[in-house]
Structure 1
């Protein structure tokens, strides 16, 4: 069957995130990331649907149940379910920290790029990535890493 279909999965079009208050959460995502509504808010659906810059939808779904967006990997590290791709990661990182968003430190994940983890209003854990080696010149990557991590070569 795989031969007939090839790689049948094209992209992830929607991601569902458990939240306590969809409107308050949507405002937080708008303020911190500039996201816009994909469709008008409908209270009957108990979710706010926002659109990422490439068109994927982020569903902020109201729940009274547990918020369990994380899970431990085999080594016990609390994993996130989503990694967002960004440009100018250093600008976003500074913006989130200035806005009081809970963030972890920036990490150089070598060929994977530069990443950091942040948490939304409900404690959901997310990862952010910029593949700097793909989107910046080697000189720009060295300057960025030197600035962010104090690396001198």
Structure 2
């Protein structure tokens, strides 16, 4: 055996495994997330825990935590813009955007954020603000990415 202690890598944080979102009614909120995004329960609902735990497609957990307090999931950045705390990565962003709008989910306009990709903001039942992102130039061919941008933003690239 070696007397040299095992060195942990400097960047020891691997990923975010759980995100906690304040909600008024966890079951109602879980149903909303299931209906609009197809999320499934990560563990069976237990009313004694005052939360519903859903699973994203890559395995991270979304905890919908019941609160009696004020729900304030946003914060202003230095220029005063109300920031979201989470950005969800998606594929086929235009299809998700259209589906959410068709179902009456409060959304903001699609944005081309250049190298960051295409994004839009949506709000859940409790007014929590979330961001959605697809880096189209990484996940689609250059031709597909150009077609999507032309279609969404009506500009010739």
Alignment TM-score, normalising by the size of structure 1: 0.97
* Aligned residue number for residue 57 of structure 1: 61
Counterparts of 1:47 and 1:132 in 2: how far apart (Å)?
34
Q: Which has the larger radius of gyration?
A: 2
Q: Secondary structure at the match of 2:100?
A: helix
Aligned to 2:47: 43
Alignment of 1:60-139 (within 5 A): 60-139=64-143
Counterpart pick for 2:30 among 26, 32, 36:
26
Q: CA deviation at 1:26?
A: 0.1
Aligned partner of residue 28 in structure 1, secondary structure? helix
> What's the CA shift for 1:152?
1.3
Q: Where in structure 2 are there 5+ consecutive unaligned residues? A: 1-6
Matched with 1:149 is: 153
Moved over 4 A (4+): none
TM-score, structure 2 normalization: 0.94
User: What SS does the aligned partner of 1:118 have?
Assistant: strand
* Cα offsets for 1:84-121 (capped at 9, x unmatched): 00000000000100110000000000000000000000
In structure 1, stretches of 5+ residues that fail to align are none
